[in-house]
Amino acid sequence: MSDEEEYYDEDGGGGDDYEYEGDDNGGGGYDDGGQEYGNQENYGNYDNQGGGYDNNQQYGNEQYGGGGGGGYDQEYQQNEYQGGYDDQEQYEEEQEESEEEEDEPEPEEHEEYADESHETNEDEEEEEEDDGYTQVAAHTNQASDGTEGGNNESHGLGSMIKGAMDGFGGGGFDGVVGQIGSLISQGGGDSGGGLSNIFSSGGMESIVGNLISSASHQFFGINPATGAIIGAIAGNIIFQMGGQNNSLSSIGKVVLDNIISGKFKRDITPFTPGGTVPGLGFQQQFQPINFQQERQRCLDQRILFEDPQFPANDSSLYYKTRPDEPIIWKRPGEIYENPQLIVGEKSRFDVKQGALGDCWLLAAVANLTLRDELFYRVVPPDQSFTENYAGIFHFQFWRYGQWVDVVIDDRLPTVDGRLYYMRSQENNEFWSALLEKAYAKLYGGYEHLDGGTTAEALEDFTGGLTEFFDLEKADKSTTLAMLVRGMQMGSLFGCSIDADENVKEAQLTNGLVRGHAYSITAIQTVNTYGGQIPLLRIRNPWGNSKEWNGPWSDKSAEWNQVDPHQREQMGVNFAKDGEFWMSFDDFMHEFTQMECCNLSADVMDEISEMTGVEVHDKQKHQWVEKSEDGEWNSRQGTAGGCQNNDTYCNNPQYGTLFQVPYDSVEQDGKCTVIAAVLQKYRREMRSKNLDNLPIGFSVYRSEGGGGALQDTVGKKPIARTKVFINMREVTVRFRVPPGQYIIVPCTFDAHDDASFLLRVFSNAEFQTARLR
């Protein structure tokens, strides 16, 4: 597999020169097997005096992992997130360089060998000369504090942030705190009296529950008491495989009823392994499988489904490294007497990692379970081990811009009669093991899932754009501002504490659990003896007594400072229900990771169709999303590489026209934009020794006429990825006045072929068009 590479650019006006840094991690993420990695290549800073690259640049500790082999020779920090968040964290230094234009050099290879380090050496980080936009590649956990002009301090944000403090009156942290109360009073609160949204607050479950209790939703296809499908065939009896019905929530029952009755029919494409990738010989080999038709065929013929696309043999397990144990494939009914797809209650929140190095996937799965309206988009409730059971299941994922339906059989890898890979805490619950199998099929096999980032899987589960925050390095003001803006835009927030390598989900003395996924459900401010302070409402999905026991926890003395009427408005409930309040300062001190999953209006529309809840009425501000498919093709002359190459302007270019936002959350007439470039098919092609390419992009203001860039002389990007890195996706968030802009995605090296997807989220309507 190729090296994980980072490429740094120097700010040289119109002619930027880039450099890179590489390390082999098998596709990113954390190493679950404790392996060491080598062959790190550092391509140092451009030497303005000598016209070449200065190989003496040192980069700070980086936090990586993967399951791929190879090796780290750069200093790095490796943590195993068992059940927490497993995204890459890279702490790189950026040295000040002069902005003199020089001849474009070829990078000179330089290898640096260093021991592993589990400490982040922040003293090594240096500031780079500021260009007005402080930017880093997605998931490198650095950003500016959002102030005008910015700085290059490491703030722990997963993308460039400029203008995060816009609309808060220029008062810094106190300015953000001061506006939270007014935003709540303007209708941004929830039933718990905090700044939230319909997704973060968990309000969808109560709304759907009210629809059922008031008979606003009429059930036609299922029994509302049990969730049983009316007229279903008892497949478990036919095949004598045991089994129990699903235990569905209110949302699950409504979604199932809408599917059975035909009220909701998802626009989805049956997944077929392969597909055509130009020039790489990755061709389609199978016919699509329609889940409903194939299940009916199996029931009619009284046969259990066997998936021809993903057979129960070694080809589905590995392409390089055989499992350590002999694998026997078994159906759930052969493992446990009464298997159940979804046990329900709180058990489904507890998912365990198996032998595979995919804790990055486990973290995303943990987040998925926090919201039923998202969970049932991936795990359709129209399947079980009893009703219409025929050994066939299906799961639905977002794949490169469209949703696909992945059909599998239920034969699972076991060792000594136990599941070998992912499993649920309840031994008879199988949705997690089957989901992992479907996800492995999506990418070509189980070993293809070894090493990755949580952001990658979260996006495949939601179709959203995900941004990560390293709270140990994040700026307090920017983090709170991003939380406020995210709540206003309908985004979801999760958080965790770094896992203990030796103890899975170790509980701390303060009541919090390491390596465990929490969700942030609301923001509130309270007046105390020391002044106004912000609080966060946080939820442990276990829903039990494992809660924060520090200041502002249940029955803590701090609540005596709060007016009883406000406590009532906030819905403060001293119950062992897994939900608790804590101060924002304590949150920043105790938690180490936070992610923001931004959902577009298209996602919200589909959730409305699934549940019958008019999300638009509940969520005023929404992201508008557009996407464009593209390709870097050397034969067609569109693989121009970065600005170090004369062919840079030959890259695909995309014009955007951003309009004045109507009633934006900042209320300043500017547009908030999140742009992302995602390279396709690279994980699937690991078995062909093809891994992610180092990619990036720049955004330029259009100078009129709407045409493509012919050159970049004297043209400075208004936003860009300063680090070229071989991750699946790189992301930049920025704020600009309405107008025309040009986005230029590129690889670091010219003549590198790949397909990509450009996604743009904006807080107002906009247009995109391919310019070249």
- Decide if 766 contacts 627 (C-beta within 8 A): no
Least confident window among 221-225, 504-508, 709-713: 504-508
Banded model confidence at residue 379, pLDDT cuts 50, 70, 90: very high
Buried b (16+ CB within 10 A) or exposed e, 524-554: bbbeeeeeebbbbbbbbbbeeebbbbbbbbb
pLDDT of residue 412: 97
Tell me how far apart the alpha carbons of residues 144 and 162 are, in angstroms, rounded to a whole number. Answer: 7
* Mean pLDDT of all residues in 596-604: 92
pLDDT of residue 255: 96
* Sign for the pseudo-dihedral over CA of 73, 76, 78, 84: negative
* Sign for the pseudo-dihedral over CA of 317, 323, 328, 331: negative
Residues forming CATH 2.60.120.380 domain(s) in the chain: 623-772
Least confident window among 46-60, 563-577, 616-630: 46-60
Residues 6+ apart with CB under 8 A from 450: 26, 27, 32, 66, 67, 68, 356, 357, 358
Backbone angles phi, psi at 624, to 5 degrees: -100, 130
- Looking at per-residue confidence, does 575 or 507 come out higher? 507
List, in sequence order, the alpha helices (H) in 537-687.
564-570, 584-590, 601-611, 615-618
Tell me how far apart the alpha carbons of residues 658 and 113 are, in angstroms, rounded to a whole number. Answer: 47
Banded model confidence at residue 190, pLDDT cuts 50, 70, 90: low
pLDDT digit string, tens, across residues 62-119: 333 333 333 223 222 223 323 333 333 333 333 333 333 333 333 333 333 233 333 3
Which of 120-129, 273-282, 615-624 is predicted most confidently?
615-624
Q: Is the pLDDT of residue 133 over 90?
A: no
For the question of residue 45 being annotated catalytic, the response is: no
Of 245, 540, 644, 651, the active-site residue reads: 540
DSSP-derived secondary structure for 38-74: B--EE--EEETTTTEEETT-----EE---SS--B--S
* Mean pLDDT of all residues in 195-200: 87
CATH architecture of 172-195+465-597: Alpha-Beta Complex (3.90)
Average pLDDT, the chain: 77
pLDDT digit string, tens, across residues 541-567: 765 667 899 999 888 899 999 888 888
Least confident window among 73-82, 177-186, 384-393, 433-442: 73-82
From 46, 72, 75, select the one nearest 58 (Cα to Cα). 75
pLDDT of residue 108: 32
Q: Is the pLDDT of residue 452 over 60?
A: yes
For the question of residue 644 being annotated catalytic, the response is: no
| Residue owning tokens 């199988």 | 430
- Looking at per-residue confidence, does 427 or 315 come out higher? 315
Of 139, 394, 516, 621, the active-site residue reads: 516
Banded model confidence at residue 747, pLDDT cuts 50, 70, 90: very high
Residues forming CATH 3.90.70.10 domain(s) in the chain: 172-195+465-597
Least confident window among 275-284, 464-473, 729-738: 275-284
pLDDT digit string, tens, across residues 320-337: 999 989 999 999 999 998
Q: Is the pLDDT of residue 503 over 80?
A: no
- Decide if 696 contacts 729 (C-beta within 8 A): no
Of 359, 495, 642, 746, the active-site residue reads: 359
Q: What percent of the chain has pLDDT over 90?
A: 45
Q: What percent of the chain has pLDDT over 70?
A: 74
From 139, 37, 48, 44, select the one nearest 90 (Cα to Cα). 139
pTM: 0.79
In the CATH hierarchy, which fold is given to the domain comprising 623-772? Jelly Rolls (2.60.120)
pLDDT of residue 206: 87
For the question of residue 516 being annotated catalytic, the response is: yes
